[in-house]
Amino acid sequence: MPLTLRQIRQNCADARETMERARREHYALGAFNLDNQETLRAVAQAAKNKNAPVLVEISQGEVDALGLENVRDMVDNYKAILGIEMYINLDHSPSVAAAKAGIDAGYEFIHIDISQAQHDATEEEIIAATREVVEYAEMTGALVESEPHYFGGSSNFHTEKIDYNEIRKTFSTPEGAYHFVKSTGIDTFAAAVGNLHGKYPVPKKIDLELLQQIRNAIDCNISLHGGSGTPGHYFVDAVKIGVTKVNINSDMRYAYRKTLEKVLADDPTEYAVVKLMPKVIAAVQEVVESKIDTFNSTGKAWIR
């Protein structure tokens, strides 16, 4: 059932208060991607077990497969049944129209990422589109996130090594972050400091000194995309610096697939999908709970 505008505004106000508390109390909300209802259930159960606030997020592929409104309804159902603090982020929305659709559907967090669909988009084009979404979001109070350039990698398991010489060319700068935040009015800046979408055969390395410089330069929230495959100590320090949102996807997908493969191999005669899922859900839930602990958000849920 669609939410009323009043309900949407209250949810967005709660989300803003949660992000402010995360900044004050030095924890980050995990933003966990959904592929299906099984991953949603894993995240919801983890949030319940850890008494933690969480974001669940979908990008355009999941929007096409699941539907904006359907995800809204499923999340609201789990919130009501389990009594958890959970919000929805529209991740890497590739156009202004798609971002506005997420706002209309009552999503509390909107990531507008023009460069995802147009890698060579100019900063001026990205700023103009982002400002339009920020202004539209005033209707509900949704928090808007963006970045001034394309962020590399993909939410998959990569076999190539990380070329940090190339990645450093796309790192955020304190001056660039300040200019972009001031020009757009965004609520959350997606920093590029060594984080990279996807899971790689070598651990990722976060430039914490650069992250601190960016934190000193801007006063809005900071998110880290591409959190999978990153040693936990980086996030412990990043949260202390002031990061309040970390995106996790590939670690969950890896656990899902590897566990499902084992379940299928162990029981090749079982065709009832519902009977194959408990171990898969448990494996994904374990990943989510581990991230919640690392982000220092255990016990931080705030239920009205």
Closest-CA residue to 130 (of 142, 152, 145, 143) = 145
Residue 91 designated active-site: yes
Q: How far apart are CA 112 and CA 98, in angstroms?
A: 9
DSSP secondary structure letters along 219-270: -SEEEE---TT--HHHHHHHHHHT--EEEE-HHHHHHHHHHHHHHHHH-TT-
Amino acid code (one letter) for 196: L
223, 245 contact by CB (below 8 A): yes
Q: How far apart are CA 221 and CA 147, in angstroms?
A: 12
167, 194 contact by CB (below 8 A): yes
**Long-range contacts of range 256-259, CB-CB < 8 Å, 24 or more positions apart?**
256/35, 256/38, 256/39, 256/280, 256/283, 256/284, 258/283, 259/283, 259/284
Q: What is the CA radius of gyration of the chain?
A: 18
Q: How far apart are CA 57 and CA 90, in angstroms?
A: 6
245, 147 contact by CB (below 8 A): no
**Three-state SS at 56:** strand
Q: Are strands 197-199 and 153-157 parallel, antiparallel or unpaired?
A: parallel
Of the listed 14, 35, 91, 113, which one is catalytic?
Answer: 91
Q: Are strands 29-33 and 54-58 parallel, antiparallel or unpaired?
A: parallel
Q: How far apart are CA 235 and CA 243, in angstroms?
A: 8
Q: DSSP code of 148?
A: S
**Per the structure block, which two tokens stand in for 107?**
């999503």
Catalytically annotated residues: 91
